[in-house]
């Protein structure tokens, strides 16, 4: 039995290291020593080199035919957490007003947590020493986290989670005062509908008729409100032709330029937001903790990146494009090509390659020593391809500290002062409490229920610890970068005020959850 003091210290120590890493990036950015272009380059290094190497070097030695069955529960828990987060964010948006340009973004903020460097840093530190089994449990923990990272990539990109952010910027904006008034009317309608059954009890026919008339009045008010919204939008509902198509790719050069007074946007904003011109934007993706400062809106010029893009119509003439129906076969092939391209990013590819190597005994013997190996060793007594695993381990070690530095840099660029004063404080605090207080409690209950049901192995403490810990994650900072891209202005002012309280609360709630989980498991 571990003493209370030891549990507290074990819980606090990794967060101190995390805080110092994040703080270093924050201070460097505030001192103008870590500019946007440097953060962007660091993000590309992490995404395309360091993080894939880290995943490969941990999965190959950790997974065996004896514990591969744990992959199913990990994927199940990852999907459950994302689904519960989306439902929680939707409920918050039903009771608290949310800016019009964040009405779908709040769903992404609730569903997709920061599964990258933060849990990897903390869990690697905790599992490297007692009460865990050192390097063996450390490798296993990172391999388990890889399942959450894979689900994150698949659901956010190939399955289209990032398109929710794009939907926030379809059609004209709605003033905050109008959104507040609409939410007040909505709350009144909800209260009236909830109170209607109570009013009917013990009343005569005339009272019931009056209640029905009140409900009919509410329905008429709904119809009037819809008509007012249509008039604001120019009398037409938003059509698909008003959407701005942007392709998020994982490779290739970034075609945007850093926004500064000396380097203004190359193309002015379109004064007509309802134009039928479909614009295409090609951007490169940064990993979970490598969000960079805003970049300029991309003009209608065709990107030069080798990654697949959507060619903007009539880019040379600037004339309005005539929408033509796409052939179903060509559209399906294009969709399949996009899904495969986004799925086969370096990190996902490294994970998908590592699993067969870890499970096929002759392949594994090429990389790591195993008993009764069918593969002869190299002259140094190591497996023939052990140098590849050593190189991946060496490069992968840079992923976590570099990612935390760029996380601090991203947080340093967030501006939440004026946005906080005029922002939806109710929704902000509700989401922060939901993700950093309620979600960990629900996560513990879910994991314990799955253990009792036999879905999660009750003897695998590393598996239980990873599943419980990943219930306490703030919103992924990847969303900042995606919002900057889809907004067309390079800003993410609404998201900033939602992120900052979560990352402040993280240090307290993660410490408490870690201490409780260690006491629960040991």
Q: Measuring CA to CA, which residue among 270, 320, 280 is closest to residue 300?
A: 280
Q: What is residue 460's DSSP assignment?
A: -
Most confident of 158-167, 184-193, 261-270: 158-167
Q: Measuring CA to CA, which residue among 464, 444, 451, 440 is closest to residue 127?
A: 464
Mean pLDDT (whole number) for 271-300: 42
* CA 192 centroid distance within chain: 37
* CA 335 centroid distance within chain: 22
d(CA 358, CA 367): 9
∠ CA(406), CA(409), CA(411), 5° rounding?
Answer: 115
CB 240 within 8 A of CB 163: no
d(CA 291, CA 301): 24
pLDDT of residue 237: 41
CB 85 within 8 A of CB 439: yes
Q: Where are the alpha helices (DSSP H) in 168-278?
A: 176-200, 205-232
Q: List, in order, residues 6 or more apart from 416 with CB less than 8 Å away.
A: 423, 493, 496, 497, 500
Three-state DSSP at 422 gives helix
d(CA 285, CA 388): 26
CB 57 within 8 A of CB 389: yes
Backbone angles phi, psi at 174, to 5 degrees: -120, 130
Query: Which DSSP string corresponds to 25-39?
Result: HHHHHHTTSS-HHHH
Q: Answer positive or negative: Cα dihedral of 46, 47, 50, 51.
A: positive
Q: Is 282 exposed, middle or buried (0-12, 13-18, 19+ CB in 10 A)?
A: buried
pLDDT of residue 372: 85
pLDDT: is 33 or 289 the higher one? 33
Backbone angles phi, psi at 2, to 5 degrees: -85, 140
CA dist list (Å): 170 to 161, 245, 263, 416: 16, 10, 27, 24
Burial 61-78 (b: 16+ CB within 10 A, else e): bbbeeebeebbebbebbb
∠ CA(225), CA(229), CA(231), 5° rounding?
Answer: 115
Three-state DSSP at 250 gives coil
CB 404 within 8 A of CB 18: yes
Kindly report, residue by residue over 446-504, the tens digit of the pLDDT.
Answer: 999 999 999 999 999 999 999 999 999 999 988 887 887 788 776 777 888 899 899 99
Kindly report, residue by residue over 98-120, the tens digit of the pLDDT.
Answer: 999 999 999 999 999 999 889 99
pLDDT: is 332 or 155 the higher one? 155
Q: What is residue 129's DSSP assignment?
A: S
Quote the percentage of the chain above a pLDDT of 70: 74
Q: What is residue 489's DSSP assignment?
A: S
Q: Which residues pair with 475 in a beta bridge?
A: 113
pLDDT: is 199 or 40 the higher one? 40
Residue 27 has pLDDT above 70, yes or no: yes
What are the tokens at 498? Answer: 């939602």
pLDDT: is 414 or 355 the higher one? 355
Backbone angles phi, psi at 168, to 5 degrees: -65, -25
Kindly report, residue by residue over 377-393, the tens digit of the pLDDT.
Answer: 999 889 999 999 999 99
The pTM (predicted TM-score) of the whole model is 0.72
What are the tokens at 101? Answer: 């340009």
CA dist list (Å): 330 to 243, 303, 336, 421: 20, 22, 10, 49
Burial 98-132 (b: 16+ CB within 10 A, else e): bbbbbbbbbbbbbbbbbbbbbbbbbbbbbbeeebb
């Amino acid at each position: 039995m571990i003493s209370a003091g030891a549990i507290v210290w074990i819980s606090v120590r990794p967060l101190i290291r995390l805080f110092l890493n994040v703080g270093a990036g924050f201070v460097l950015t505030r001192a103008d020593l870590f500019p946007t272009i440097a953060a962007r380059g660091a993000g590309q290094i992490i995404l395309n080199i360091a993080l894939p190497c880290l995943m490969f070097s941990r999965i190959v030695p950790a997974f065996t035919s004896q514990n591969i069955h744990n992959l199913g529960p990990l994927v199940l828990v990852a999907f459950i957490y994302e689904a519960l987060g989306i439902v929680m964010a939707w409920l918050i948006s039903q009771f608290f007003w949310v800016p019009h340009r964040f009405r779908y973004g709040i769903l992404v903020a609730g569903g997709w947590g920061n599964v990258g460097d933060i849990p990897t840093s903390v869990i690697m530190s905790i599992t490297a020493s007692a009460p865990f089994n050192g390097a063996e449990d450390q490798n296993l923990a990172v391999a388990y986290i890889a399942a959450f990272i894979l689900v994150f990539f698949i659901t956010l990109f190939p399955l289209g989670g990032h398109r929710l952010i794009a939907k926030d910027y379809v059609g004209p904006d709605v003033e905050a005062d109008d959104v507040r008034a609409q939410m007040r009317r909505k709350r009144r309608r909800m209260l009236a509908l909830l109170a209607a059954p109570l009013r009917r009890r013990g009343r005569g026919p005339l009272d019931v008729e009056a209640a029905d008339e009140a409900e009919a009045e509410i329905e008429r008010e709904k119809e009037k409100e819809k008509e007012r919204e249509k008039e604001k939008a120019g009398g037409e509902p938003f059509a698909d032709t008003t959407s701005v198509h942007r392709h998020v790719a994982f490779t290739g050069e970034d075609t945007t330029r850093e926004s500064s007074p000396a380097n203004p946007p190359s193309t002015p904003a379109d004064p007509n937001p309802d134009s039928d011109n479909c614009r295409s934007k090609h951007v490169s993706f940064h990993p979970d903790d490598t969000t960079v400062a805003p970049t300029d809106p991309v003009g209608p010029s065709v990107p030069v990146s080798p990654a697949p893009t959507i060619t903007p119509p009539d880019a040379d003439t600037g004339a309005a494009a005539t929408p033509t129906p796409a052939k179903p076969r060509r559209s399906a092939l294009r969709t399949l090509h996009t899904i495969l391209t986004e799925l086969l990013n370096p990190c996902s590819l490294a994970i998908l390659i590592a699993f067969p190597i870890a499970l096929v005994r002759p392949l594994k013997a090429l990389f790591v020593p195993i008993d009764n190996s069918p593969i002869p060793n190299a002259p140094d007594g190591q497996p023939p391809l052990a140098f590849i695993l050593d190189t991946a381990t060496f490069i992968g070690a840079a992923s976590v500290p570099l990612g935390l530095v760029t996380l601090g840099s991203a947080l340093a660029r967030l501006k939440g002062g004026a946005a906080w004063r005029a922002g939806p404080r109710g929704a902000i605090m509700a989401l922060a409490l939901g993700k950093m207080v309620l979600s960990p409690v629900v996560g513990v209950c879910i994991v314990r229920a799955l253990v009792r049901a036999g879905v999660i192995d009750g003897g695998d403490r590393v598996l239980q610890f990873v599943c419980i810990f990943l219930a306490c994650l703030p919103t992924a900072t990847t969303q900042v970068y995606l919002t900057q891209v889809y907004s067309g202005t390079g800003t993410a002012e609404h998201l900033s005020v939602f992120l900052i309280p979560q990352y402040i609360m993280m240090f307290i709630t993660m410490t408490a959850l870690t201490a409780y989980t260690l006491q629960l498991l040991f």
